[in-house]
Homo-oligomer: A and B are copies of this chain.
């Protein structure tokens, strides 16, 4: 590996001059030397040593992508296509800009902050943060920061807050409206976990709003918190099927994965979808297409989330424009397929 020093000896000029060429500071170097140095850099395949850059406090060119530890187990269990897609898209966007991506699963805010300072991380993308952690992170960070799919208390939305999310409320609202328009009245809501927060909470709120507008009262018995582990979840779903679904004619799920999983168990136990039961998902990912009937679901553009998050993050890093709060919620799209039917 060639260093700036070595290049400088080759061309017989000082390291400083070489450095200036590397950084394109044409005004500081004569035309002739500029070309000579540029040729040498190319010929010897110069790559800057990132250690030197970090040390000189000159930008590590690292973007950290932080996954919250608490989510990790779920992701492993679900093999959620969302994470695959978003991480792939983030990596691409980061690389395109000449930066590098460090993927880190963090157990706490402190751990994340240490990660940032050890590497002089230039910017952070935060996936799936808990609301409290998100707030703490905003207060203590010294680096530009962009959240994806995070809902936090308004008081933390400082001037340079960035979040790219989805109109989750709208999604929950739209799909429920659609079911109501088909004549369904007894509709259940299924999410994973007992405690709802973030995107699921919003989707649920949209669901309840639609019911209310239809004059339907939401009953807490209509909420089903599903176990994220396969076996207990399946046992529960089987019981539900035997119980003739307690007279529900439609079930709204917070994800395609859960919807497909449940639909399969229901069908195994003699319940026909959509004849006996309408089922809806959320995400419009591969699962909603690789099942029969295909799922009626809410579509989102995952790639766009990544692109926007990185775009805004880099504006902060490059100090382009004034720091303006960004809380961009992308549009949802109702995708009607075979898993829902007029009642």
Residue ranges of A at the interface with B (Cβ–Cβ < 8 Å): 1, 45, 47-56, 60, 72, 75-76, 78-81, 83-85, 87-89, 91-92, 95, 100-105, 114-115, 117-120, 257, 260-261, 264, 267-268, 285-287, 290-292
Do residues A87 and B87 form an inter-chain contact, with CB atoms below 8 A? yes
With a CB–CB cut-off of 8 A, which chain B residues contact A119? 50, 100
CB contact between A105 and one of B53, B91, B267 (< 8 Å): that residue? B91
For residue A16, give the distance in angstroms from its CB to the closest CB of chain B. 18
Do residues B91 and A84 form an inter-chain contact, with CB atoms below 8 A? no
CA separation between A83 and B49, bound complex, in Å?
Answer: 30
Known contacts A47-B118, A290-B264; A102/B101 CB under 8 A: yes
- The list of the 7 closest CB pairs from A to B, nearest first, reads A51-B54, A51-B55, A79-B81, A84-B84, A1-B117, A47-B118, A47-B114
With a CB–CB cut-off of 8 A, which chain B residues contact A95? 104-105
User: Can you list 25 A-B pairs with a CB-CB distance of less than 8 A?
Assistant: A47-B114, A50-B54, A51-B52, A51-B120, A76-B89, A78-B286, A79-B85, A79-B285, A80-B84, A83-B84, A84-B84, A87-B87, A91-B103, A91-B104, A92-B105, A95-B104, A100-B102, A101-B102, A101-B103, A257-B290, A260-B290, A261-B290, A267-B292, A290-B290, A291-B291
Do residues A102 and B105 form an inter-chain contact, with CB atoms below 8 A? no
With a CB–CB cut-off of 8 A, which chain B residues contact A92? 72, 105
CA separation between A55 and B49, bound complex, in Å?
Answer: 8
For residue A138, give the distance in angstroms from its CB to the closest CB of chain B. 19
With a CB–CB cut-off of 8 A, which chain B residues contact A91? 103-105
- Beta-carbon nearest neighbor of A101 in chain B: B103
With a CB–CB cut-off of 8 A, which chain B residues contact A1? 117
With a CB–CB cut-off of 8 A, which chain B residues contact A75? 84, 88
With a CB–CB cut-off of 8 A, which chain B residues contact A89? 76
With a CB–CB cut-off of 8 A, which chain B residues contact A105? 91-92, 95
CB contact between A84 and one of B79, B120, B285, B292 (< 8 Å): that residue? B79
Known contacts A95-B104, A101-B102, A105-B95; A76/B88 CB under 8 A: yes
CA separation between A117 and B114, bound complex, in Å?
Answer: 24
